[in-house]
Amino acid sequence: MSRALTIALVLVAAPAVAEPMAVVVRAGSGDTALAVARLRGQLADLDLAITDAPGRLEPSLDAQFATAARLAEKEQARAVVWFIARDGGIAVAVATPADHRLFVRVIPPAEPSTVAEAAAVAARGALRAIALGGSIGVEVPPPPPVVVPAMRPQGSLEVALGWQLALDGGADGGAHALAERTMWHRGAWAGGLAIAFGPPRPRHDVNADLELSRTGAALVAEWRAGGFAIGLSAGAILYRRTTIATDTGLAATPGATTVAFGGGPALRWHWRPRHLPLGIEAGAGLDVVLGAPTLAISRAGTVQSLGAIRVAQPWFGLSVIAGLP
């Protein structure tokens, strides 16, 4: 019983066997292949687990250290070793990426075997110091974090709200309307929908007093440069006529609605203060209207014209614009 207890105590007290330190050696070629071979001999008596990493070296030391960090993470290695040929000599590089440190020793030019042996001895000394818990070389600052720009839409939304006046030859003083326009802007091009809601406006004639309204909706395409935009529109225009009073001997007819088709060119100018979402816009254009109504009265079987709505209707507008994120 006492012997079994003694064996158990010995087993509990036995120290744990440490795992060998993992090291990655970037396999050399040409002038550095001999140094890599000599390094293997120098490390034979050290408790190290060596992994070879083939591949050409990067042109700069910063890039080489970055590759060493990736290899160390991949292989779970404590250190990474590589050799750099320099005009008959060799630069020995040993990195410990976990603590951002890099050891570099330059072996001056000499007979190739001598240079390779000196490089291997220098690398061995650095690895031995690391295995004993020491630190090597100088600290390499970690690379700055990569800032990924926030994804933004390829275009932007723009809304305009204002007043529009069309000189259509209908109501006295022209056709006024509340104008709204929603545009999607990308690069030099923009497209969207424009709506103009026209309230009834009076038209006084010798034979009758009327109210006319002009409401329209159109698709718009624009090309922009600087603060100016040249555009084309096409859509429908809705005319509404209501008879208010008539001359003696005339009877008022029920209100009527006429749908016409119109479109044409436009020129706009906008100004928006920097860093502000709001601005102002002024515009002018020409609507060519097909199917515009004709105003007339009928007296004793004879139709008498009060005037036709113009086919070519210039318009002017002023709006407040807002850019939406």
CATH of the domain at 107: 3.40.50.11240
pLDDT tens for residues 31-61? 788 888 899 889 888 889 989 888 888 888 8
Number of domains in the chain: 2
Residue 125: pLDDT above 90?
yes
On whether both 202 and 298 belong to a single domain, the answer is: yes
The pLDDT value recorded for residue 167 is 94
Residue 249 has a pLDDT of: 61
Least confident segment among 13-27, 40-54, 91-105, 189-203: 13-27
Asked whether residue 58 falls in the same domain as residue 166, the answer is: no
Instruction: State the Cα–Cα distance between residues 118 and 257, nearest whole angstrom.
Output: 101
The long-range contacts involving 219-223, CB below 8 angstroms and separated by at least 24 positions, are: 219/191, 219/192, 219/193, 219/194, 220/181, 220/183, 220/190, 220/191, 220/192, 220/193, 220/194, 220/266, 221/189, 221/190, 221/191, 222/183, 222/189, 222/190, 222/191, 222/268, 223/188, 223/189, 223/190
What would the two tokens of residue 112 be? 């190739």
Domain that holds residue 225: 156-324
Is residue 2 in a domain? Answer: no
Chosen domain end from 85, 108, 139: 139
Helix (H, G, I), strand (E, B) or coil at 301: coil
In this prediction, residues 197-225 reach a mean pLDDT of 89
Average pLDDT of the residues in 82-104: 91
Is the same domain home to 129 and 163? no
Contacts of 301 (CB under 8 A, 6+ apart): none
Q: Which of 150, 297, 279, 179 is nearest to 227 (CA)?
A: 279
Residues in the chain: 325
| CATH code for the domain of 244 | 2.40.160.20
Residues 217 and 268 occupy one common structural domain: yes
Does some domain include residue 149?
no
Residue 116 contacts residue 147 (beta carbons within 8 Å): no
Per-residue pLDDT for 4 more than 60? no
80 within 8 A of 97, measured Cβ to Cβ? yes
Same domain, residue pair 169 and 103: no
Same domain, 192 and 277: yes
184 and 53 in a common domain: no
Which of 139, 168, 196 marks a domain boundary? 139
Per-chain mean pLDDT for the chain: 85
Same domain, 118 and 189: no
Among 114, 139, 164, give the residue marking a domain's end. 139
Tens of pLDDT, residue by residue over 222-251, are: 999 988 999 999 999 999 988 776 666 666
Q: State both tokens at 152.
A: 């933004």
